[in-house]
Structure formats: structure tokens, C-alpha cells
């Protein structure tokens, strides 16, 4: 069957200074297909798509859309050609409704006919099976609803080639299913869909063909039905990779952190953690699951002394057998007690690291106080930075590079590397592999397991339930700031976790099964 | 699909590419070209507006700034003052604390200096009085920096408004002091303090009245540079400035850092007050600070807080300022003429930074494209 090509890229090259982000890439997208673009971190997936959507301009090569050679110099050009991109970070205005966001920036008559707009939006949602109320304000929406608005925004502008950058990164299993159904509907309607992703099971489930990029180079395109997860991984990484997480039985379990009835209010005065109680032990990984924004961030920050605790107490049991109440202490006071917490926060560049500082400077965040003098020691942090770059294979021009200039995966390696280097007794990590590719992810999982075997109490907030089930010993599920249950990761199922996440509490007795 | 033709198939004339790095020589060459271009544009403007020979006007500016030994010293003195205030602002600005109250902090330092000179001029030995003046002016400036810092740290008040308003309070304080220190009576000015005994004046050093100022300012510049770059406290300032969340995460007491840093910032600006009053004017008035507290903000920003660059930028601004006074009298122009020239120069100098960071890639030749196609 002869299929028409919606997009043809030939010999496209894009350089950023010395870095070649895309090197002589050839790629075709057919009409009415779902194409996955698969690649490791920094392999140039997003850069390539940004050239299609008019954000970057290629240094070399040509782009054909529907058979015609075109020049795309701005997002407007891209829209005129029917290309729309849904970015990973939504570009919506919170205080406006869905419909208002959808028409934002479009030209039109002097008098705005919102009813007509709403009707058109409703037609679109009905056609493709979306679930959206055009009058709902963005701030009232879940992540998945916001994504829907972004997609409709693009469709409303008449796009028939849609590019989605990591669309499933923040969705729950049920929401992912819904999104995929909608995307399949669009494909049936003849639209071309490009998905940038690194989640292999989604690639297998959804796409017709897979194009693989590696280090900026185009490796090839394969039909999904002839591919396997293993073969795709090999194309992507360039070598065979083992995808197993080595989980050992916890040994030498001792209490480390005990939280008793903690309640935390945020700046707006809403309770974000309600009467939460749990215990973490040395030598185990305690997973924390929940729908995004159900108190995961605050739970970790409360332990780290970064939240104001309204009631309840947190106790720390040191390996030497001392018990300290840390719930009324701030981060600097906890530090002074020589309690060795490590914390990899969700907001890497806004909390864990300083974007404009170089690697050495970022190592100093934990160690600059060391030594008695007035001056800060830069030599040891520098050595540590070099060690982390070496051991975790961080790709950076030098340790003098500002971390802001590194890719997401490398930023995370720098942060996790630093936190582990301080030899913690408790290691808290939030979304440790968010935005990371397979290889980096497994590097991080292995690091967490290493820490567990060293007797560290690891608390890991995660979003990928499959991974939590494979990695953790116990999983704590948060729902609306409450502990909905703590389950054994070896025996529980995704379905059970899903129920707990949506607020189906376990009865009190069962909750304490393992603690 | 009918829309396709609306997009031109031509490659744009040029597009910007971010440079990965640029050699120092090349960067300075770009700046030099910018200066030459700006002088040409200035010349056109001068001829068009004033009908003067631009070369003569340029010569007038140079003569005004460095024409005689006295003028050279005045230029040096003013440069140093501006530099000192800019250095004083640096720690606060690095912390993203927008201290625009340097003007008031200078005045407070000036009040402390003048007060001590008047009160102890004939009592204390010269060296002790001078030492006292330096210390007291720093403390006075420190207090003026401390007030907004405490309010910022405890009530999260807006420091920009707060420091700005304190400038006016400082001016009123000066007016208040003048009432008491008035000399001769009824003149509503303080006059030259200790004109005979020169008590509390900066002593001549290296054959110049401003020798001590030079040493003082350069020493402070060096110390602040070292403090910001190598000390633990300097590191804390940088972290707080980048992200208060990261600072809290690192266990830094943000409140304490804000207060401490503003004390340092205010103290240096207060010291600048002593350098003006004891080291140069030997009197005090509401215009003692002379807008330096604001000009210094430009200096600090333009030089991206780099001390070496700060010296150059201060020198440039003062050079043009001094030159403008000269051409105003020599050619009967008003001083705004020099402001126009300064403006054009700044436009080119700041604008050329773009070409240091980016390069333009022009459309490739048509033939080449056709061959490819």
C-alpha cells in the first residue's frame, strides 16, 4: 500500500556551538500514522521536533511538508503548515478558561463570539473522544486535563501533524489509556502523530513505526510489529542492556525515621499532609506512590526540615541508638546535629542545585561549611565533582560548566551523586528518574540499591508504578495528604496501588502489616 | 493545504547562532569596532546639531577629563568614589537584594564624618580622629543598610521602595544637621570644616591629596572580590541570590545572610561617605552623594559585578562626565551634548555584547542551494 508522506526531513543538521544536536538526520512521517521518536537522553529528539515546529532553524538540510519544500522560521509558519507541537511544559494561562486559552493569540473579528468558539471546541472534543469542559478554568484542572487543552489548542488551529513531547510523563495509568484512545481516533481521522518518548512499553502499545535517534544521529525506522523491547533498546543505546532491577531481601532492619501523626499546612493554609504516620527502616527502600500533588513533596520536605509542621512529631533513630525529635527543627539545625540526611528534591534546579553555578560550586552546597577558616575549600568539592563525572558518566565539557547547561539526566546524576557522597543514613529521593533515559534510569536504580545494601534507609517517591513494584520493599500510598496504606511491594499489584491512590483506604489493621 | 504557499520557501536572510565561546582577542576586537562606529555616529550627530568640528569636541572632552594634572586627579578621585559605591552594592546585588539606597548610606557616612570632624577636630590627635571617622562612617552606613534588611527579612517588605525612601530620610537628616553645623551663621551651609587645622582630612599621600583614597578604594575592591569569590559567606550570598529555596535546602539561614550582607553593603557605601567628606569636599550638603548611589548601579550591572570591569566602566562614565563640563564651557553647549555622546557610546558598547554572544549566519549563496537541490 502506497502511503503519502506528511513530512520528509533530509540531511538535517543542527549545531549549538561545538555540539552537534542533530547530525544529518533523515526522517519521514506518513499520513495517518503514529510515529514514535525514541532516543536516549540528549539524542536530539526534541531539537529535531523543535525545528519542525519553528523554534529552531536547521543549519543544513531540507524539510518537505506534504511533498513541498518549506522553510519554517517561526511557530506561526509551522501552524500555517498544519504542524502543531504539544510541549512537555504546558503553556497555558491559569486564570483563563479552557476555551479562552484555546483561542489565545489567534486573529479574529473585533467582537469575540465565545459561544461559537465553545461550540467548535465541543465539536472537536466529541469527534476525537476528549473529555473537556470549555468553561473550566485552568487552575481547576488536573495535569491530564491541561494536556487535553494543549492538544485541542493545536487541533483548533487546524493542525493535522501533531508532535507530542513526552506526553505520558505525568499521567496516571488510567489517564494514559484515555490519551492513547484519543490519539488512535486522530490517527483514524487521517492525522499524523509524532510522539517523543523513551518509554518502551508505550512505544510498543501505541505506535505504527518507531524512529530511533542516538547521539544526534538517525539510526533507523522500524515497523513496531517487527520490533521487540530488546531490539529497540539495542538500537537506542547501541548495545544490549539488561532491564532487570536487582532487588535483594532487606537485612539488618532498624528504625530510622518514625513519623507520628504529622499535619502540614502550605502557605495558603490548606492541609497538605493529614495525620501521616509511618516508619522507615535501614536497609530497605520505602516507595511513596500517589497521584501527582497528593503530598509527596511535602512529606519529604517535612522530614528534611523544610516545612512548618503544625502537629505531630518526627523521630530520628541514629545508628548509635540515640533518638532525636527533629520535627521542630529547621534544615540548618538538623544539619548541626550531624544527622546525615540526603535529599534529592523534585525541583532539581530550583532546590537541589544552583543552576548558574558550576559543578564544583554545586558540590559545595553540602560541604562549604567544612573546615574552620573563613574561606571555603574548593579543592575537595572539585575532586568530588570530578569523581562523580567519572563514575556516573556525566557528560559535561568540564566541572566548571554551569549545571543549567547540562541535560536533565546529567543534572540528576550530579545531584544524586552529591547526595550519596555524603554517606547518608537516610536517603530521600523524589522522582529520581523523571525525564531520564533507560541507561541513566538504571544507573540511578542501581545506586539506590547499593545504598540500601549499605544499610541506608531509602525513601523513594516515584511515578512509574511498574518501577516502584520492582524496586521497593514496601510502598506507602498517599491520597489527599493522607497515608492510604502501606503495602508489601513483592505481593501487591498495580490495581491495588491504583485503588489506594484514589482514596480507597485500607483498614487500620492491614495498614500496619509490615511496620 | 492551500495554506502552504503562504510560507516563503526562501531561507531567511540571516539567523542567529549562539556562540559556544569566543577568544578574548576577538571579543575585544568587536568592542573596539563598536567604539569606532559609535564615534563616527557621534561625529555625524555633532555636526548635524551643533555645527562644530567633532574632532575638536572630542579633544575638548579629553582635555576636560585629563588635560591638566588637577583634572587628572579629579577624574581619578571621582572614578574611585563611583567604584567604591559600586563595590558596596555588589554583595547586595549578588544576593538579588535591590539596594538602591546607596545614596542615603553615603549621606549617613558623610554625616558621621562631618560630625566627628566638627566635634573632635581640636581634641583628638589626627590619626585617631581619622580612624574614628572611617569606623563611624561605616557603622552609620551599616545601620542605614540594616534597617531595610531587617524589615525585608522579617516582614518581607519591598527592599527597592524601602531603600529608595530612606534616601530622602537621609537627605532630611543632613538638612537637620546643617542647621546645627551652619558656618558662617545664616549661610545655610556647613562651609569647609577645619579649614585651618585640616583635622580629620585625609592626609596627602604620594604627593597627592587623594593618595589615601586610592589606596583605600583599591584595598576595599580587592577585599570584596576575595570575600565574594573565596569565602564561605560569599558563597552563601551567591546561593541565596540564585534561589532562596536552594539556600534553605542547604541549611543556610537566609534571614541572617540577608541582614549580614546588607550590613556589609551599607558599611562600604558609608565609607564612601567618609571618602567624599573627609577625603575630598571637606563639607557636607544634601548633594554630597551627588547621584553616585544611582550611577553606581549602572556601573555594577554593566560590569556584571566584575571588579576589573567596574574600574573601566567607572572611569568611562566619569571621563565623559568631566569632559562634558569642559565642552559645555568651551563650545557654549549645554552639558546635555555630552550626555548624547555618552548615550551613543553606551548604546554601541552594550549592543556589541550581543555580537560577542551570538553570531549571525547569513543566507547561503543561491547557487549552492540549487546544486544541492
pLDDT digits (tens, 9 = 90+) for A219-245: 999 999 999 888 888 888 887 777 778
Tell whether the model's pLDDT for residue A134 goes beyond 50: yes
Tell whether the model's pLDDT for residue B122 goes beyond 90: no
Same domain, A392 and A273: no
- Indicate the SS3 state at residue B17: strand
Chain B residue numbers with beta carbons less than 8 Å from the beta carbon of A70 are: 4, 7, 9
Confidence of residue B364 (pLDDT cuts 50, 70, 90): low
Tell whether the model's pLDDT for residue A508 goes beyond 60: no
- The answer to whether the beta carbons of residues B323 and B64 sit under 8 Å apart is yes
Tell whether the model's pLDDT for residue B213 goes beyond 90: no
**pLDDT value for A35:** 94
Distance of residue B22 Cα from the nearest chain A Cα, in angstroms: 10
Query: Nearest-CA neighbor of A393 among A423, A436, A435, A364?
Result: A436
Percentage of chain A with pLDDT > 70? Answer: 97
Backbone angles phi, psi at B333, to 5 degrees: -85, 160
Tell whether the model's pLDDT for residue A471 goes beyond 80: yes
Q: Round the average pLDDT of chain A to a whole number and report it.
A: 86
Backbone angles phi, psi at A69, to 5 degrees: -75, 130
**pLDDT value for B2:** 38
Residue A106 domain-assigned (yes or no): no
Same domain, A398 and A286: no
- Is ipTM strictly over 0.90? no
Q: Which of A68, A332, A353 sits opposite B4 (nearest CB)?
A: A68
Residue A56 domain-assigned (yes or no): yes
Give the total number of structural domains in chain A. 3
B-proximal residues of A, 339-358, CB under 8 Å: 343, 345, 347, 350-357
**pLDDT value for A428:** 93
Confidence of residue B11 (pLDDT cuts 50, 70, 90): low
d(CA A20, CA A12): 11
Shortest CA distance from B372: residue in chain A:
A61
Q: Find the mean pLDDT for residues A196-201.
A: 82
Q: Does A304 touch chain B (CB under 8 A)?
A: yes
Chain A residue numbers with beta carbons less than 8 Å from the beta carbon of B21 are: 17
Tell whether the model's pLDDT for residue B145 goes beyond 90: yes
Cross-strand bridge partners of residue A279: A258
Same domain, A491 and A370: no
Tell whether the model's pLDDT for residue B5 goes beyond 50: no
| Cβ within 8 Å, pair B7-A347 | no
Among the candidates A383, A398, A422, a domain finishes at A422
Tell whether the model's pLDDT for residue A513 goes beyond 80: no
Backbone angles phi, psi at B180, to 5 degrees: -80, -35
**pLDDT value for A11:** 92
pLDDT tens digits, one per residue of A14-45: 888 777 889 999 999 999 999 999 887 778 88
Chain A residue numbers with beta carbons less than 8 Å from the beta carbon of B304 are: none
At the topology level of CATH, where does B64-332 sit? ABC transporter involved in vitamin B12 uptake, BtuC (1.10.3470)
Q: Find the mean pLDDT for residues B158-165.
A: 92
Tell whether the model's pLDDT for residue A515 goes beyond 50: no
**pLDDT value for A514:** 43
Among the candidates A179, A202, A237, a domain finishes at A237
Same domain, A354 and A335: no
Domain hosting residue A174, numbered range: 5-88+159-237
Q: Which of B232, B248, B372 sits opposite A331 (nearest CB)?
A: B248
Who's near B215: CB < 8 A, 6+ residues apart? Answer: B205
A60-69, B146-155, B289-298, B359-368: range with lowest mean pLDDT:
B359-368
Q: Does A77 touch chain B (CB under 8 A)?
A: yes
**Number of Cβ atoms within 10 Å of the Cβ of B169:** 14
Same domain, A54 and A24: yes
**pLDDT value for B12:** 67
- Indicate the SS3 state at residue A489: coil
Same domain, A322 and A364: no
d(CA A160, CA A216): 26
Tell whether the model's pLDDT for residue B219 goes beyond 90: yes
Residue A179 domain-assigned (yes or no): yes
Same domain, A275 and A229: no
d(CA A67, CA A73): 18
> What does the block give as the cell for A23?
547530525
**pLDDT value for A3:** 65
Sheet containing A19-30: which strands, arranged edge to edge? A68-70, A60-65, A5-16, A19-30, A217-223, A209-214, A34-39, A192-197, A161-165, A83-86
Q: Which of B9, B233, B248 sits opposite A70 (nearest CB)?
A: B9
**pLDDT value for B1:** 39
**pLDDT value for A2:** 53
Residue/partner pairs of A236-242 with CB below 8 Å, 24 or more apart: A236/A38, A236/A39, A236/A40, A236/A43, A236/A198, A236/A212, A236/A437, A236/A438, A237/A40, A237/A438, A237/A439, A238/A214, A241/A438, A241/A439, A241/A442, A242/A442
Percentage of chain A with pLDDT > 90? Answer: 35
**pLDDT value for A105:** 82
d(CA A135, CA A147): 16
Q: Which residue has the cell 487552575?
A: A139
Give the best residue of B2, B240, B251, B369 to mutate against chain A (max A CB count within 10 A).
Answer: B251
Tell whether the model's pLDDT for residue B8 goes beyond 60: no
Give the best residue of B243, B362, B363, B366 to mutate against chain A (max A CB count within 10 A).
Answer: B243
Residue A289 domain-assigned (yes or no): yes
Task: Give the number of A-B residue pairs with CB atoms closer than 8 Å.
Answer: 107
| Cβ within 8 Å, pair B12-A73 | yes
How much helix, strand and coil, in percent to the nearest 5, is found in chain B? 75, 5, 25
Chain A residue numbers with beta carbons less than 8 Å from the beta carbon of B7 are: 70-72, 77, 80-81
Same domain, A212 and A288: no
- Indicate the SS3 state at residue A287: strand
Same domain, A374 and A390: yes
Q: Find the mean pLDDT for residues B145-154.
A: 92
Tell whether the model's pLDDT for residue B369 goes beyond 60: no
> CATH number for the domain including A36?
3.40.50.300
- Domain spans of chain B, in order of start: 14-52+334-373, 64-332
Q: Does A488 touch chain B (CB under 8 A)?
A: no
**pLDDT value for B20:** 66
Q: Find the mean pLDDT for residues B48-64.
A: 85
**pLDDT value for A432:** 87
pTM passes above 0.90: no
Same domain, A474 and A435: yes
| Cβ within 8 Å, pair A304-B231 | no
| Cβ within 8 Å, pair B238-A80 | no
pLDDT tens digits, one per residue of A50-70: 999 888 888 889 999 988 888
Same domain, A506 and A434: yes
d(CA B106, CA B116): 16
Residue A466 domain-assigned (yes or no): yes
Same domain, A380 and A454: no
pLDDT tens digits, one per residue of A322-333: 888 888 888 778
Amino acid at each position: 500500500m502506497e502511503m503519502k508522506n506528511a513530512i520528509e526531513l533530509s540531511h538535517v543538521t543542527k549545531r549549538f556551538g561545538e555540539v552537534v544536536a542533530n547530525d544529518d538526520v533523515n526522517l519521514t512521517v506518513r499520513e495517518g500514522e503514529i510515529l514514535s521518536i525514541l532516543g536516549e537522553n540528549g539524542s536530539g529528539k526534541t531539537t529535531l521536533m523543535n525545528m519542525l515546529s519553528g523554534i529552531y532553524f536547521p543549519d543544513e538540510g531540507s524539510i518537505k511538508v506534504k511533498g513541498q519544500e518549506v522553510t519554517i522560521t517561526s511557530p506561526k509558519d509551522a501552524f500555517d503548515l498544519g504542524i502543531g507541537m504539544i510541549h512537555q511544559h504546558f503553556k497555558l494561562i491559569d486564570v483563563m478558561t479552557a476555551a479562552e486559552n484555546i483561542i489565545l493569540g489567534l486573529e479574529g473579528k473585533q467582537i469575540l463570539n465565545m459561544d461559537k468558539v465553545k461550540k467548535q471546541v465541543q465539536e472537536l472534543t466529541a469527534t476525537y473522544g476528549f473529555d473537556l469542559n470549555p468553561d473550566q478554568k485552568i487552575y481547576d484542572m488536573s495535569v491530564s486535563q491541561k494536556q487535553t487543552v494543549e492538544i485541542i489548542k493545536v487541533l483548533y488551529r487546524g493542525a493535522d501533524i501533531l508532535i507530542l513531547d513526552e506526553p505520558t510523563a505525568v499521567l496516571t495509568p488510567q489517564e494514559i489509556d484515555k490519551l492513547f484512545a484519543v490519539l488512535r481516533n486522530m490517527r483514524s481521522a487521517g492525522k499524523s502523530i509524532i510522539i517523543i518518548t523513551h518509554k518502551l512499553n508505550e512505544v510498543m502499545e501505541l505506535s505504527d513505526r518507531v524512529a530511533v535517534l542516538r547521539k544526534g544521529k538517525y539510526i533507523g525506522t522500524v515497523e513496531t510489529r517487527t520490533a521487540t523491547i530488546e531490539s529497540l533498546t539495542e538500537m537506542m543505546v547501541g548495545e544490549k542492556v539488561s532491564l532487570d532491577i536487582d532487588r535483594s531481601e532487606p537485612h539488618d532492619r532498624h528504625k530510622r525515621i518514625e513519623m507520628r501523626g504529622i499535619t502540614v499546612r502550605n502557605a495558603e493554609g490548606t492541609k497538605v499532609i493529614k495525620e501521616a504516620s509511618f516508619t522507615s527502616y535501614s536497609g530497605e527502600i520505602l516507595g511513596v506512590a500517589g497521584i501527582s500533588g497528593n503530598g509527596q513533596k511535602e512529606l519529604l520536605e517535612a522530614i528534611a526540615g523544610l516545612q512548618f509542621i503544625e502537629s505531630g512529631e518526627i523521630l530520628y533513630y541514629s545508628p548509635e541508638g540515640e533518638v532525636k525529635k527533629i520535627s521542630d527543627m529547621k534544615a540548618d539545625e538538623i544539619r548541626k546535629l550531624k544527622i546525615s540526611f540526603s535529599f534529592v528534591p523534585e525541583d532539581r534546579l530550583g532546590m537541589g542545585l544552583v543552576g548558574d553555578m558550576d559543578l564544583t560550586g554545586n558540590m559545595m552546597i553540602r560541604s562549604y561549611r567544612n573546615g574552620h577558616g573563613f574561606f571555603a575549600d574548593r579543592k575537595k568539592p572539585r575532586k568530588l565533582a570530578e569523581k562523580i563525572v567519572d563514575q556516573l558518566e556525566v557528560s559535561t565539557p568540564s566541572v566548571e560548566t554551569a549545571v543549567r547547561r547540562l541535560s536533565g539526566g546529567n543534572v540528576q546524576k550530579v545531584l544524586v551523586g552529591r547526595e550519596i557522597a555524603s554517606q547518608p543514613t537516610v536517603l530521600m529521593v523524589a522522582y529520581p528518574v523523571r525525564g531520564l533515559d533507560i541507561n541513566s534510569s538504571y544507573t540511578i536504580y542501581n545506586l539506590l540499591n547499593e545504598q540500601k545494601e549499605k544499610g541506608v534507609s531509602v525513601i523513594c517517591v516515584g511515578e512509574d508504578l511498574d518501577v516502584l513494584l520492582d524496586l521497593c520493599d514496601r510502598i506507602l500510598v498517599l491520597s489527599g495528604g493522607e497515608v492510604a496504606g502501606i503495602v508489601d511491594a513483592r505481593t501487591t499489584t498495580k490495581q491495588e496501588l491504583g485503588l489506594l491512590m484514589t482514596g480507597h483506604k485500607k483498614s487500620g489493621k492491614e495498614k500496619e502489616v509490615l511496620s | 493545504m492551500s495554506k502552504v504557499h503562504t510560507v516563503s520557501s526562501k531561507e531567511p536572510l540571516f539567523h542567529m547562532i549562539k556562540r559556544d565561546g569566543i577568544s578574548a582577542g576577538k571579543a575585544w576586537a568587536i568592542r573596539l569596532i563598536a567604539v569606532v562606529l559609535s564615534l563616527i555616529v557621534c561625529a555625524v550627530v555633532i555636526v548635524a546639531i551643533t555645527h562644530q568640528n567633532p574632532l575638536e569636541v572630542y579633544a575638548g572632552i579629553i582635555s576636560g577629563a585629563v588635560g591638566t594634572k588637577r583634572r587628572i586627579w579629579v577624574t581619578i578621585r571621582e572614578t574611585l568614589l563611583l567604584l567604591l559605591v559600586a563595590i558596596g552594592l555588589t554583595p547586595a546585588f549578588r544576593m538579588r537584594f535591590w539596594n538602591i539606597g546607596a545614596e542615603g548610606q553615603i549621606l549617613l557616612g558623610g554625616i558621621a564624618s562631618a560630625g566627628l570632624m566638627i566635634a573632635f577636630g581640636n581634641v583628638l590627635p589626627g590619626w585617631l580622629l581619622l580612624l574614628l571617622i572611617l569606623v563611624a562612617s561605616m557603622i552609620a552606613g551599616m545601620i542605614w543598610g540594616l534597617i531595610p534588611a531587617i524589615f525585608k527579612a522579617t516582614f518581607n517588605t519591598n527592599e527597592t521602595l524601602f531603600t529608595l525612601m530612606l534616601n530622602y530620610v537621609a537627605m532630611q537628616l543632613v538638612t537637620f544637621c546643617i542647621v546645627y553645623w551652619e558656618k558662617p551663621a545664616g549661610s545655610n551651609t556647613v562651609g569647609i570644616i577645619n579649614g585651618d587645622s585640616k583635622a580629620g582630612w585625609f592626609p596627602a599621600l604620594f604627593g597627592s591629596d587623594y593618595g589615601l583614597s586610592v589606596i583605600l578604594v583599591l584595598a576595599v575592591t580587592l577585599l570584596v572580590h576575595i570575600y565574594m569569590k573565596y569565602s564561605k559567606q560569599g558563597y552563601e550570598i551567591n546561593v541565596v541570590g540564585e534561589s532562596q529555596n536552594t539556600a534553605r535546602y542547604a541549611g543556610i539561614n537566609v534571614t541572617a545572610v540577608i541582614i549580614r550582607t546588607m550590613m556589609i553593603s551599607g558599611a562600604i557605601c558609608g565609607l564612601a561617605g567618609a571618602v567624599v567628606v573627609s577625603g575630598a569636599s571637606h563639607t557636607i550638603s544634601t548633594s554630597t552623594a551627588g547621584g553616585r548611589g544611582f550611577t553606581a548601579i549602572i556601573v555594577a550591572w554593566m560590569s556584571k559585578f566584575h571588579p576589573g570591569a567596574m574600574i573601566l566602566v567607572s572611569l568611562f562614565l566619569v571621563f565623559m562626565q568631566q569632559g562634558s563640563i569642559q565642552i559645555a564651557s568651551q563650545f557654549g553647549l549645554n552639558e546635555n551634548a555630552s550626555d548624547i555622546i555618552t548615550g551613543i557610546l553606551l548604546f554601541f558598547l552594550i549592543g556589541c555584547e550581543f555580537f560577542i554572544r551570538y553570531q549571525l549566519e547569513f543566507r547561503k549563496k543561491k547557487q549552492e542551494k540549487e546544486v544541492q537541490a
